Chains A and B, each alone.
Chain A
Amino acid sequence: MSFDADVIIVGGGLSGLSAGITAVREGLNVILLERGDYSGAKNVSGGRMYIHALKKLIPDALEKAPLERPITKETFEIFCGNRKITFSFEEKDKKNSFSVLRAKFDRWLASEAENLGLLISYSTLVLNAYREGGGITLETNRGTLKAPLIIDASGVTSVVFRMLGLRKFTPDKWMLGVKEIIKADVNLPENEGEVRTIVGEIKGVKGGGFVYTNKDTLSVGMAVTFDSLPKSEFPAKDLVEAFKERIEIEGEILEYSAHAIPYYGFKNLPPLYDKNLIAAGDSAGFLINDGFTIRGMDLAIGSGMIAGLASKKIVESRNFSNTEIYYEMLKDSFVLKHLELAYNRFELINSPSTFSTYPEILCNVLSDMFTVEENRDTLINDVIYRLKEKGIPLSQVVRDLWKAVK
């Protein structure tokens, strides 16, 4: 059977483009299919990108990429009713992560990829996939394409795996990210930017909110699990508006967007490879949400690059069942190592006490601490009393604290 390319990549987001750039550099014959009119047309993130992986992909990216601002200040806000705990951390001149806007960023990365010789077919929607003649056939709105190896980089909906029956999605394993871009006069020097992470402001939802400072806009939004949405104080369509009102952010809205986010955790990852097929980025469920930050973009770039390198090895071996090569390479990389490291905290934020009970106990203890009255107890007694009130033994707190730092 004749094939159209060595490798076909489905999806021109960060993972697909990184895979494409790497595979072309490795000398493979690659086609990338993207359903948007341009890369980034359909993509949404919060978005703060940790740039270690990007710098490996494009060494001079810091000079060339359309990054918004370096993140030099982190602020956490934990709400419990009319009380709020806030803490901030500042580190001037830090250049480890940047705010980004995906419609601009992905488009730039796609132009870099095209300059390197990657063939990208835009407005090409993959409609169906099936196995045939030792490879996989993809039906698209522009005709049929076949390859012995497919990289599924189609994001959380993992289209090729799904069409081959290799995915089952449930609302507890996905989050909804909803977001607005707000016009703002950002009174910060160009080399400074802030991320605010907000927990507990909207009742009923499992998740939190964020505010990212861009050049002259703010990205304001929430990420909450789909199964908690029907229990939320607000329907999904009003979530960001309600959140903005609560944290008192006003300004002209420039865009309203939404996207699902994978929420599996290291031990629940879906199949990452199959015969003739590997998954990168969100399609593989590579997302870290440890309560402090959402990280998908550096994992998408990192896993995309590994997918590109693994493709070369698989093509050279001429054994397209041998896709475990990819998994072995992932195991050696930061992608699976970081996911594993984050798993304890992932489990912790999934326990019901973390999002609701602990913040409330903390608020109660702090409120007692700052209230002076005739009757006053020691802080430790107060902590034990407040824990008892909620039926949480001290041993569990110690165990949870250990999980959070491990």
Chain B
Amino acid sequence: MVPLLKRLGLNTYNVDKKPHIEVNTDICINCKDKPCTLSCPAGTYEALPDGRIAVHYERCLECGGALVICPFGAIKFRFPEGGISYRYG
């Protein structure tokens, strides 16, 4: 398997200075399964040992999934101003 970061590195990003994804990590502490860590194709959400979530918003592929993957409404998502540009699509 080619590692995710290598695959993401092939993409052209113009990352915003301000995160376009905000996560209420206080809610995440009480979430056992953390479906976001399994459902995001960019590995944006990483479970930390303390039960919180680290958010790597700069990896986001802008698939839109962030609008449906959290069952507790802990993820606030808007599209970035810059973000990804695909060469093939």
Question: Which residues from chain A sit less than 8 Å from chain B, CB to CB?
Answer: 35-38, 40-45, 47, 101-106, 123, 125, 127, 141, 155-157, 169-171, 174, 176-178, 180-181, 217, 219, 226, 229-230, 232, 235-239, 241-242, 245, 253-260
Contacts and interface: CB of A to CB of B under 8 A. Distances in A.
A181 B88 CA distance: 8
A245 to B, nearest CB: 7
A176 B83 CA distance: 19
A42 B42 CA distance: 15
A215 to B, nearest CB: 11
B84 to A, nearest CB: 7
A344 B34 CA distance: 34
B24 interface: no
A254 B88 contact: yes
A170 B68 CA distance: 6
Interface in B1-54: 1-2, 4, 7-8, 10-11, 33, 35, 37-43
B88 A103 contact: yes
Given A176-B41, A229-B39, A237-B41, A256 B68 contact: no
A345 B82 CA distance: 39
10 A-B pairs with least C-beta separation: A102-B89, A103-B89, A256-B7, A258-B41, A260-B64, A258-B63, A41-B85, A229-B39, A230-B35, A241-B1
B38 A230 contact: yes
26 contacts: A40-B89, A42-B62, A44-B86, A102-B86, A103-B86, A103-B87, A103-B88, A123-B81, A141-B81, A174-B64, A176-B41, A217-B88, A229-B69, A230-B33, A230-B38, A235-B37, A235-B43, A237-B41, A237-B43, A253-B7, A254-B88, A255-B86, A256-B10, A256-B11, A257-B61, A258-B42
A254 B10 contact: yes
A35 B40 CA distance: 22
Nearest to A43: B89
A105 B86 CA distance: 12
Contacts of B62: 42, 259
Given A43-B86, A44-B89, A253-B10, A226 B69 contact: yes
A104 B63 CA distance: 19
Given A230-B39, A236-B40, 13 more contacts: A36-B85, A41-B89, A42-B85, A42-B86, A47-B89, A101-B89, A176-B41, A226-B69, A229-B35, A229-B39, A255-B87, A257-B88, A259-B64
Nearest to A282: B64
Nearest to B89: A102
Max count, chain A CB within 10 A of own CB: residue among B10, B42, B78: B10
Contacts of A178: 41
Nearest to A239: B41
Interface in B48-78: 61-65, 67-69, 78
A178 B43 CA distance: 13
A256 B8 contact: yes
For chain B, give the interface size range. 20 to 34
Interface of B: 1-2, 4, 7-8, 10-11, 33, 35, 37-43, 61-65, 67-69, 78-79, 81, 83-89
A174 B65 contact: yes
A253 B83 contact: no
B89 A156 contact: no
A270 B26 CA distance: 33
B85 A180 contact: no
Given A229-B39, A245-B1, A256-B11, A125 B89 contact: no
A60 B1 CA distance: 43
A101 B88 contact: yes
Contacts of A260: 63-65, 67-68
A229 B38 contact: yes
A257 B37 CA distance: 17
B89 to A, nearest CB: 3
A42 B13 CA distance: 11
A51 B11 CA distance: 29
A255 B11 contact: yes
B10 A255 contact: yes
